[in-house]
Structure 1
């Protein structure tokens, strides 16, 4: 599964693996089992075994593709953000330079494309290609916001969907399509991934203010120091409209950052962001509960694990 990591030197294979979003791989593989369909046994049970093995391998390919795209996006993001660390370890661009980091990301994307093409499923190719497009769109939205857009919760959530939730939601839907599920079930898989992804990012936004740089994938207060306005600040602006003028003046000024943090501390911004994350986590859990009944023990166990993940996402501290 990690053969593509050979592109990098051995010393940085570990770093790249650490970059991978733990929850992302769990979700894709658990969803594959949670959506398993009952296969009626033909004359030869070997046919069933071959079908099940082939299906599982194709589903695992989706997990590999998703992982490669995600890691590539992190490598590129670190270059764009001029990040020095990733999960407390020197980022690839910091250790080996921007050129190699960009090339490593490009290499992973190319390997993902090759694996995706091998699935020979046009619907799945379209979904994953859309997710990659959304990654670029989300980054562009973040880099080119107007003052009005920067203060809009709707704009923030749309950007967050593109940057974080689209990949996991479309990957979950791809798993459902490969399994031969109905449009309704495929949409439930999509809704689970979408809402889990949004919940994850909302908690990330909270942790940027409450966590420490050693426990996060970026330095604490990284977003606001880069002029990025996230949900906690947006909620604080609702309580203290005067904060908007501070944001509009620019957060590249340390004095404005300190003032914004002061307003945030007096507001319910952190609490309301956690509540919004919990709402999306609840929607994700409801999507799993709405899946068609299936008495298979492995299916039930996987569905319980997917629900448990929604709780872990909103209660995590790093």
Structure 2
């Protein structure tokens, strides 16, 4: 593991550098303070559930099949394949969303409703072994999806086409393997309702890759802002029906919200919901867990994107950019250049315009809206150490 960390550390320094302009002391200190605060909250959460989040991820990346893939890491680094950055993020998680831990905390907050044999749960934490399986499954699904999104589009004129294609095969096999294992683990729970709900979240993940406009490398591009921005609400979907896209594209806040529900919010929401179904709670309690998970995921994403806009590379569909387009649609002229080639986009210009506009403040407001909604859900549960930890996680965002 140490050698693997050193390898990715070297890769991160050489291949994915941040421009000097945006790595000044003030930004670095801000990030360091934020990570220390967040790390402290996560450590406290691990004590509460009796299950280190790092163990969830080690179960994913350190097994025989994945170790075989990682043996090709050196070659991937040399070809600068996108899979390298994904693997690096898995090893150096920092502020990556620890969804498995959230599922366990939500399970502990709600407790057990039915009568369970002592062999079915951990007496020290009152968390079912099946709920721990859900926590592992969500990490596997999330990681498998990240692997699949690491594929690089190529054609016959691409430089080193055979090497890039080799990296694509690894990313595809890696993702398929993890998704297959997660499906197998879900099947072993022998709960059809939970299996259906979480499978629908996997469908949402797939749909997120076909939502809205895309550049040639399948990176998302915002839709052209509509002349009149509407306040479109995305309803909760407690069942397995697909989310509706009507009146969303072109309405910047609604488009951002639906995209992130599809690619992360639905997964956390439905795994929290499924975990409480396993604990035999009445129908309305798993629904509360769904609402909590969805809002926490959206608040978390908005928080991450506010920081990432200051870095060298950032997403053109991040909250600061999307919310700025509500105020200044003229910026879309620069953004839509990415439809033909991402390299044509002047990211420095977009960053400068967004940071001098209302996008950052609106992102803060959006994060607060979703954070408050998640906190309101927790008010329905009794006070406990696990509830306090969840509150602290939300406040640390």
1:32 corresponds, among 107, 110, 114, to 107
Change (3 A) 1:126 1:38: closer
Q: Given the two structures, how large is their TM-score scaled by the length of structure 2?
A: 0.63
Alignment partner of 1:134 is 2:201: no
Change (3 A) 1:10 1:245: closer
Alignment partner of 1:107 is 2:177: yes
Partner of 1:283: 373
Alignment partner of 1:239 is 2:239: no
Aligned pairs, how many?
279
* Aligned-pair CA distance for 1:10: 6.9
Alignment deviations for residues 170-223 of structure 1 (CA, whole Å, 9 cap, x no partner): 000011100111121111111111001001111222122124xxxxxxxx4232
Partner of 2:242: none
Correspondences of 1:54-73 after superposition (within 5 Å):
56-73=128-145
Change (3 A) 1:255 1:27: closer
Change (3 A) 1:77 1:288: same
For the residues of structure 2 that align with 1:16 and 1:73, how far apart are their CA atoms? 14
Partner of 2:295: 195
In terms of fraction of residues, the more helix-rich structure is 1
For the residues of structure 2 that align with 1:187 and 1:48, how far apart are their CA atoms? 25
Q: Please say if residues 150 and 156 of structure 1, whose CA atoms lie closer than 8 Å, have aligned partners that are also in contact.
A: no
Alignment deviations for residues 274-305 of structure 1 (CA, whole Å, 9 cap, x no partner): 221122111111111112x37xxxxx111111
Q: Given the two structures, how large is their TM-score scaled by the length of structure 1?
A: 0.77
For the residues of structure 2 that align with 1:115 and 1:16, how far apart are their CA atoms? 25
Gaps of 5+ in 1: 41-46, 83-92, 212-219, 295-299
Correspondences of 1:254-269 after superposition (within 5 Å):
254=344, 256-269=346-359
1:206 corresponds, among 306, 311, 317, to 306
For the residues of structure 2 that align with 1:69 and 1:309, how far apart are their CA atoms? 22
Partner of 1:147: 224
For the residues of structure 2 that align with 1:254 and 1:118, how far apart are their CA atoms? 49
For the residues of structure 2 that align with 1:110 and 1:255, how far apart are their CA atoms? 37
Alignment partner of 1:168 is 2:268: yes
Aligned residue for 2:112, secondary structure, equals coil
* Aligned-pair CA distance for 1:81: 8.3
Alignment deviations for residues 6-37 of structure 1 (CA, whole Å, 9 cap, x no partner): 21227949858527745212101111211213
Alignment deviations for residues 85-118 of structure 1 (CA, whole Å, 9 cap, x no partner): xxxxxxxx98x72211210110000000110000
Change (3 A) 1:270 1:39: same
Change (3 A) 1:156 1:32: same
Partner of 1:5: 63
For the residues of structure 1 that align with 2:373 and 2:211, how far apart are their CA atoms? 26
* Aligned-pair CA distance for 1:152: 2.7
* Aligned-pair CA distance for 1:237: 2.0
Change (3 A) 1:120 1:255: closer
Partner of 2:150: 78
Aligned residue for 2:186, secondary structure, equals helix
For the residues of structure 1 that align with 2:343 and 2:167, how far apart are their CA atoms? 28
For the residues of structure 1 that align with 2:331 and 2:351, how far apart are their CA atoms? 10
Alignment deviations for residues 16-73 of structure 1 (CA, whole Å, 9 cap, x no partner): 8527745212101111211213667xxxxxx742343596111111011111101101
Aligned residue for 1:147, secondary structure, equals coil
For the residues of structure 1 that align with 2:89 and 2:354, how far apart are their CA atoms? 34
For the residues of structure 2 that align with 1:187 and 1:140, how far apart are their CA atoms? 27
Aligned residue for 2:150, secondary structure, equals helix
